[in-house]
Amino acid sequence: MESLSNKKKVLEVKPLNFWERAYLPAIAKGLSITMGHFFKKPVTIQYPEQKREFSENYRGLHSLKRDENGKERCTACGLCALSCPAEAITMTAAERQKGEEHLYREEKYAAVYEINMLRCIFCGLCEEACPKEAIYLDGDIVQSDYLRKDFIYGKDKLVEAPLNQ
């Protein structure tokens, strides 16, 4: 019966000829292939010294941004924590006192802001949720460490450096 697609291809099983059974030509061919690789440039990127270039929209370590006057943008609204599918973000809000206007942009700010880097999946939903453009995943990769508690990054690690320093 003719097959429907007509794509069937009948393969002949040919017995190996003498040179194929002797293996030696095949081995010589294999050796020449590996020798070709011997002189190729290695593809290794030697990590601590060299780094692979990240793409423009690479999502790395979070940073909490400041505005043009160096004030923290975050107002501790909690939308990032709410949007976070991995529940990695926690924060405690506080009211801005008199004399702290140069530190925080709005009357409310995050006194504690912690991201658990072991929970974070770097999806970028916090970035999208933020109404104040305060959080961006524009950093490097997360450094390795020994203890779980050291992966909970607080404000000391997350907030951008002040402007005039």
Query: Is there binding between residue 38 and other proteins (CB under 8 A)?
Result: yes
Per-residue contact track with other proteins, 84 to 123, x per CB under 8 A? ----------------------------------------
Task: For residue 30, say whether it is annotated as part of any ligand binding site.
Answer: no
- Whether the CB-CB separation of 64 and 160 falls below 8 Å is answered with yes
Closest CA to 74 of 125, 132, 114: 132
Which residue intervals of 44-88 are DSSP H helices? Answer: 79-83
Distances, alpha carbon 16 to alpha carbons 21, 28, 31, 32, 79, in Å = 6, 17, 21, 22, 70
- Sign, Cα dihedral of 155, 158, 161, 162: negative
Q: Which of 1, 13, 33, 147 binds other proteins (CB under 8 A)?
A: 33
Q: Compute φ and ψ for 20, nearest 5 degrees.
A: -70, -35
Q: Is 164 in the site for other proteins (CB under 8 A)?
A: no
Q: How far apart are CA 117 and CA 124, in angstroms?
A: 13
Q: Which is nearer to other proteins, 35 or 161 (CB)?
A: 35
Q: Which stretch binds other proteins (CB under 8 A): 10-18, 32-40, 82-90, 156-164?
A: 32-40
Judged by CB under 8 A, the residue of 11, 16, 43, 161 near other proteins is: 43
- 46 vs 165, beta carbon nearer other proteins: 46
Q: Is 20 in the site for other proteins (CB under 8 A)?
A: no
Give helix then strand counts, H and E, for the chain. Answer: 5, 5
- Under rule CB under 8 A, residue 3 binds other proteins: no
Give least dist CB 37 to other proteins, A.
5
Residues of the binding site: 74, 77, 80, 84, 120, 123, 126, 130
